[in-house]
Structure 1
């Protein structure tokens, strides 16, 4: 072997030795920290040994090695009990944090490599669920046969965690900032009525003119029969009238508008086809568009379950070419 190759071989060997030494040091430190933290958690060496699945003498050796390396006594040992010293208690807080982070890192890798499976519980408003989510669900289930979906169609605000839902699809401003959210599309809200209605009652030219028209409302809204409409000036105007009809279903409001019963304030994912077919027209076309996001929301956490992540990715792709008006 030439001198140059011999030198490279030595360098390679030394690098491997250094890497192995570093890895062993890190592992030794984590093992020592785990032994110490488990002793504190369990209140003694015997129960800690059972918890870790090693001998009592091994646990004692790890803790003694940790104390020697740190140059401090971490535990008060008596014949009856073991308790952390003041320094030991401070060290325990940091050590437990490191061990928890390491455990979550392992769980994250395992979770992200797992195939989506299990029961996926979804909450979605009836309007969007019936018209747009239901038609694409079959494709998702074919792609992920190990996932079972339970979808609740309801025009109410659900508490995801307390009611046991994995995720929900919500339209408009998100009220609960503690939830994680990902936008899947945009929709536009506009006031629409039938050509027959406008022929009989005239077309409003300004927002104030709506007070003289028959309005169709969503029932059970927290704001009551109030429409918040963007004005040409940029301000948000509020219009409150009793109207002819209130119902907790957007499709029913659209049907009522098509029948000439009045003006409805609806999202584009409901009225788009009717508008294109000439069944309804915009009440005041010159008003600014009221664009709202459609979001997948799910509980907070360090990582997302594979079944939830897969479904959200699917929705983003399925509705990539939708909105704000193109529905």
Structure 2
């Protein structure tokens, strides 16, 4: 007899508490279930079940075998489900968390093409600037910029961006250009309030030394686009990613405040909960993003 069928019959008897209910669960006769269990016990050379006229219960050996058998059966079920899922068209609701600045400027414009390519998928895109807990908050995946804090998540790099200090030419005409990192203490800085580091810029000097700038800013706001607008308006120096400043810099609306400083290159990642396989809807969206951003970054946006 088939070993997996014997294991399934035994485990179902334990789950259901008897042969009759196990037979109903499996859709076979009671005698067939009994034959499978007897064959299993004979092959193992051990009694797995205590049988009385009123109830059936596993022996000590049977209980230990049940724990392992149930794992095997669950794995077999997952394997079957995996094959079915991988052969079926991606479908269902994809709930994804995306940092507001990146989502508005670079994901929203390309969503239509993805939805037309995968009509069975519906997207619930949540734009926010906080760190969400994927599993507990019910997200299938997230797109995050910068260093990944949670190493337990699976991640795939989509592209790269870089952060630089930028300001309008009119600002430098009025206040001068900083020549050294220490000179920033005398300038009007535009801060991002949602940064985990607070109003602190972590910069790398030309020597490679890591420096921190703690100067209070003229403006603090929790939105990168607003900081960009303020910088274009000549209100001060902002420290922003290239996916925000690249276009206005090409137009001459912004310039690099200290071009001699090394750039801070950051990855843009798709992250998703760990598991034995990626859901087709998640895989299809990540593959789409990797292709869509193939020629982007770190400074070319």
Q: TM-score, normalised by structure 1?
A: 0.88
Following superposition, the deviation at residue 90 of structure 1 comes to 2.1
Q: Find the aligned partners of 2:45 and 2:74 in 1 and give their Cα distance.
A: 25
| Structure 1 residue corresponding to 2:241, chosen from 267, 273, 278 | 267
1:6 corresponds in structure 2 to none
1:153 corresponds in structure 2 to 127
Pairing 1:1-327 to 2, within 5 Å after superposition: 28-327=2-301
Following superposition, the deviation at residue 291 of structure 1 comes to 0.6
SS at match of 2:156: strand
Stretches of structure 2 that go unaligned for 5 or more consecutive residues are none
SS at match of 2:122: strand
Runs of 4+ in 1 over 6 A off after TM superposition: none
Cα-to-partner distance string for 1:71-119 (whole Å, 9 max, x where unaligned): 1111122222222222222222221121111111101000111101122
Following superposition, the deviation at residue 258 of structure 1 comes to 1.1
Corresponding residue pairs, total: 301
RMSD across aligned positions (CA) = 1.4
SS at match of 1:174: coil
Cα-to-partner distance string for 1:222-269 (whole Å, 9 max, x where unaligned): 321111122334343221122000111111111111111111000000
Q: Find the aligned partners of 2:210 and 2:82 in 1 and give their Cα distance.
A: 44
Cα-to-partner distance string for 1:122-143 (whole Å, 9 max, x where unaligned): 2111111111111111111111
SS at match of 1:189: strand
Following superposition, the deviation at residue 162 of structure 1 comes to 2.3
Cα-to-partner distance string for 1:199-238 (whole Å, 9 max, x where unaligned): 2212112222211111101113332111112233434322
Q: TM-score, normalised by structure 2?
A: 0.96
SS at match of 1:175: coil
SS at match of 1:293: strand
Stretches of structure 1 that go unaligned for 5 or more consecutive residues are 1-24
CA pair 100-260 structure 1, distance change in 2 beyond 3 A? same
SS at match of 1:292: strand
Q: Which has the larger radius of gyration?
A: 1
